[in-house]
Amino acid sequence: MLGKTIEIKLKGTPIYVYGTKAISPEEQEETLSEWVVVLDDGQIQRFHVHSRSGRVEEKTVNTPPVTLSIPHSIKPAKIQIKLGEFPPGEALRWTTPLSIRDDLQVFVERSGDVVFWNEGEITRLSVNALPDTRILVDDKERLLVLTNPTEQYQHGILGDATEAGGFVIIDANERKVIQSMMVRSPDVIESLSPLWTDWDLDGEREIVLTLSNDNTGARLALFRESGELLAEGSPIGAGHRWRHALAIAPFGPDGHIELAEVMTPHIGGTLQYVRWDKENKRLTSVASDKSFSTHDIGNRNLEMFAVTDWDQDERPELILPNQSKNELMIVKRTSEGSRTVASFDLNGRLNTNIAVLTTSNEKEAQSIVAAATKEGKFILWLN
């Protein structure tokens, strides 16, 4: 069921949105969310949204433009990095500092070093990182970083023609590499952010990589953290064809944990649900649906989707755009395959990630879906 729709005209072209619950001392009975929209000229707009009334208050303050082109560190609340204190000239254009703790940030330096920045103290770890890798962190404060840049696969859909040849896992507290792996040539890792999660719930995380080459295109491969291959899927069958691994969650109608991906999001866009067949060491598609797109060629935005329990039935749904990116679709996995249970009209073309926020107090719970369009509109749907 859909509730209110809020549309806000922005002061420019948006590239990233983010939301968090805010405290509303004046209206305890109504939850308040805070939203940040980053524009392509580096400006930031902030908004407070009242859950019940849908009232919007702009809280934008005049700050210097953000110089980071992947603005994932721009959060509302206290974990925002103080850009004025960031070491000048250290970070690559496409890197984003990761805030592990209030007093510890990590980023990738021009040299390929991973840099730990702790209240002015800088420590470097030489790993030959991919320039635009997303730094992932787990609950043990270990980091996963893509490494060994290579230009041997000239597809170039993720912003440039440089892809990763391996990965490392780093102990952030000890500042040392504890695992590393290289893929075999001619494969490259055609991604900026692998999936790193405990798929089989055995207490150990696995890593899903999108491996690509000129002969067979992209395929999914599942590894232990040690680099041991556990399973892989079938390749697309032709070079310069990509697949976007989205998320691993209990999508299955029986609660089975599955990987959701969009195969060839730029040409047709097939949503697939994939299961891990341990016995045969295969990643196998068990359901599919057509005409979705979660990426634009040449863009580093890999978050044009979200996973949430929209209908509050304790099973996750996918939110993702249609092929034209003028609608957002909520898709539920079913015993027959999958079906679209709701859709949102964007009245424009999606240009940002899709953000989901769940807020609650003693009297109400609410899901909010947010996205912004190329035409400069920030839209929120309140369930």
pLDDT at 83 over 60: no
Distance CA(383)–CA(358), nearest Å, equals 10
pLDDT, mean of residues 191-213: 97
Question: Residue 51: what residue type?
Answer: S
At 28 the pLDDT is 55
CA-to-CA dists, residue 117 to 99, 101, 124, 328, angstroms? 10, 11, 9, 38
At 79 the pLDDT is 33
Per-residue pLDDT tens digits for 252-306: 999 999 999 999 999 999 999 999 999 999 999 999 999 999 999 999 999 999 9
Q: Which residues of 24-38 are buried (b: 16+ CB within 10 A; e: fewer)?
A: beeeeebbbbbbbbb
At 93 the pLDDT is 54
pTM: 0.90
pLDDT at 251 over 50: yes
pLDDT, mean of residues 187-200: 97
pLDDT, mean of residues 155-179: 96
Query: Sorting pLDDT into bands at 50, 70 and 90, what band is 26?
Result: low
Question: Residue 228: what residue type?
Answer: E
pLDDT at 97 over 80: no
Q: Which residue has the higher pLDDT, 118 or 62?
A: 118
- Residue 327's DSSP bridge partners are 345
Least confident of 73-87, 129-143, 350-364: 73-87
Residue tagged 């991919």 (tokens): 130
At 94 the pLDDT is 62
* DSSP letter for each residue of 347-371: SS-B-S--EEEEEE-SS-EEEEEEE
pLDDT at 192 over 60: yes
What average pLDDT does the chain have? 88
Distance CA(376)–CA(272), nearest Å, equals 31
Cβ-contact 205, 228 below 8 angstroms = no
Question: Residue 298: which of 265, 256, 269 has the closest Cα?
Answer: 265
